[in-house]
Chain A
Amino acid sequence: MRMRKRITLYILLILSSIILFFPTVYALMVSFMNGREVLSGAVLPSSFSLDNYKKAFESLPLLSYLWNSLVISAAVMAGQLIVSSLAAFAFVFIKFKGRNALFFLFISTMMVPWEATMIPNFVTIQELGWINSYFGLTVPFFALAFGTFLLRQHFKTIPKELEEASQVAGLSRFQFFYKVVLPVSKTSLVTLGIYGFLTTWNMYLWPLLVTNDETVRTVQIALKQMQTKEVSTDWGVVMAGVIIVVIPTLLLLFGGQKQLQKGLTQGALK
Chain B
Amino acid sequence: MNSAPLTKESGYEVGDLPEHSEKAFPLRKDFWQAMLYLLPSFVLFSVFVFYPMFRTIYLSFFLTDYDGMPSVFVGLENYAYIFTSDEFLKSLRATILFVLITVPAGVILALFLALIANEKLKGIGFFRTIFSSNMGMSVAASSVIWLFLFHPSLGALNQMLSTLGLSQVEWLLDPTWAIISVSVTTIWMNTGFAFLIILGGLQNIDEHLYENAGIQGAGYWYQLRRITLPMLSPTMFFIVTVSLINAFQTFGQVDILTQGGPAESTNLIVYSIYREAFVNYQFGTASAQAVILFGCILIVTILQFKFGEKKVHYQ
Contact = CB atoms under 8 A, between A and B. Distances in A.
B179 interface: no
B263 to A, nearest CB: 21
A261 B4 CA distance: 15
Nearest to B315: A269
A31 to B, nearest CB: 11
Q: What's the interface size class on A, roughly?
A: 35 or more
B252 A120 contact: no
Given A110-B10, A202-B1, A204-B252, A264 B24 contact: no
A131 B200 CA distance: 40
Nearest to A198: B136
Contact of B30 (A84, A87, A95): A95
Interface residues of B, number: 112
A85 to B, nearest CB: 9
Interface in B201-252: 201, 204, 220, 234-235, 238, 245, 248-249, 251-252
B310 interface: no
Contacts of B297: 111, 113, 116
Nearest to A22: B156
A41 B159 contact: yes
B23 interface: yes
B190 to A, nearest CB: 12
Contacts of B286: 119
A6 B119 CA distance: 9
Contact of A87 (B20, B37, B119): B37
B204 A113 contact: no
A133 interface: no
B24 A167 contact: yes
Interface stretch (B48-56, B78-86, B168-176): B48-56
A17 B144 contact: no
Nearest to B39: A86
B73 interface: no
Most buried by B among A121, A143, A156: A143
A146 interface: yes
A218 B72 CA distance: 37
Contacts of A265: 196-197, 200-201, 204, 235
A267 B5 CA distance: 10
Interface in A82-114: 82-84, 86-87, 89-97, 99-100, 102-104, 106-107, 109-114
Given A112-B294, A149-B7, A269-B235, A120 B38 contact: no
Interface in B250-283: 251-252, 255-256, 270, 273-274, 277-278, 283
A64 to B, nearest CB: 17
A9 B8 contact: no
Chain A interface mostly helix, strand, loop or mixed? helix
Interface in A6-38: 6, 9-10, 12-13, 16-17, 20-24, 26-27, 30, 38
Contact of B45 (A12, A143, A206, A267): A143
A2 to B, nearest CB: 10
Interface in A123-153: 123-124, 139-149
B135 to A, nearest CB: 6
Contacts of A117: 48-49, 52-53, 55-56, 290
Contact of B38 (A12, A43, A87): A87
Nearest to B117: A13
A245 B24 contact: no
Contact of A94 (B37, B135, B156): B37
A249 interface: yes
B21 A6 contact: no
A269 B119 CA distance: 22
A114 B1 contact: yes
A1 B201 CA distance: 22
Given A102-B38, A202-B2, A268-B8, 12 more contacts: A13-B116, A27-B145, A87-B37, A90-B37, A113-B293, A118-B52, A119-B55, A120-B51, A167-B25, A198-B136, A238-B144, A264-B196
28 contacts: A1-B119, A17-B130, A23-B145, A95-B20, A96-B34, A102-B38, A107-B10, A107-B11, A109-B49, A110-B4, A112-B294, A115-B290, A115-B293, A116-B294, A118-B277, A119-B277, A119-B286, A120-B55, A120-B59, A149-B10, A156-B17, A160-B18, A173-B25, A208-B255, A221-B140, A249-B137, A265-B196, A269-B7
Interface of B: 1-11, 14-15, 17-25, 27, 30-31, 33-35, 37-38, 40-41, 44-45, 47-53, 55-56, 59, 68, 112-113, 116-117, 119-121, 124, 127-142, 144-149, 154, 156, 159, 188, 191, 196-197, 199-201, 204, 220, 234-235, 238, 245, 248-249, 251-252, 255-256, 270, 273-274, 277-278, 283, 286-287, 290-291, 293-294, 297-298, 301
